[in-house]
Structure 1
């Protein structure tokens, strides 16, 4: 089941447990049971900007929130409140390039395995169709 994109920042924010200024996704381009593509336009007020460069911590947080957005949307479709989740572990993150202010990044997540509130995902982040980061992450839902 493909879903139409959600390009409204507030609508996306409502699907996440994080709130401003800690929200690192502002668009959902696509969603299905095992994948999602999320986006973020890096604005001047972003807390992970330093000298116009979006830091590694921001990139990793964007990747994690892309996973959280998938979970949040699943609960939204069931008309339930999304639980808070945490990064359980980061297997490997390769960062090839850091984006700058006003860049728009996209992360594609693919769920590899999901069991008992623990989700293992593969993540690829791009900027202008160029891969700038990738990795694997486990997220855990709070009970």
Structure 2
């Protein structure tokens, strides 16, 4: 299924607290109040790229930044500045396959619970419609 691109690289980067070279999301495909689909095309200049492979740490960071993008876009839609968020916990991340150079991964986040600035999300990451990673994260907004 071909996805429609909502935001591209520059707009996405403006919604994330991370800056180059630490940005691990470059596309926003889908946004609802409880979900988001974000993408990343893996380039040679990526700091988590090594020996023709995108490393586990990069995949986990892509997943976390997909969550951050959801928060950033929510605040953007309300014309407010997004607060900084932190990973509170990571639960059962399973990585089945690592992407290569020029691959594009997509992460779908689904908000399971949200209360008092703490958000629990489920994340599924795919490569060419094949699930390559999944897990849950709890994020916390700074006060």
| 1:3-46 Cα deviation digits (max 9, x unpaired) | x7334200010011111000000000000000000000000100
**How many Å separate the matches in 2 of 1:69 and 1:84?**
11
Query: How far apart are residue 52 of structure 1 and its match?
Result: 1.3
SS at match of 1:14: helix
SS at match of 2:63: helix
1:6–1:12 CA contact under 8 A, matched in 2: no
Query: Counterparts of 1:58-97 in structure 2 under 5 Å?
Result: 58-97=58-97
1:123–1:134 CA contact under 8 A, matched in 2: yes
Unmatched 5+ stretches in structure 2? none
So what's the TM-score if we normalise by structure 1?
0.96
Residue aligning to 2:50: 50
**How many Å separate the matches in 2 of 1:70 and 1:37?**
9
**How many Å separate the matches in 2 of 1:88 and 1:95?**
20
Residue aligning to 1:10: 10
- Work out the number of aligned pairs and report it: 140
SS at match of 2:69: helix
1:12–1:28 CA contact under 8 A, matched in 2: yes
Residue aligning to 1:23: 23
Unmatched 5+ stretches in structure 1? none
Deviating above 4 A after TM superposition, structure 1's stretches of 4 or more consecutive aligned residues are none
So what's the TM-score if we normalise by structure 2?
0.96
**How many Å separate the matches in 2 of 1:83 and 1:43?**
29
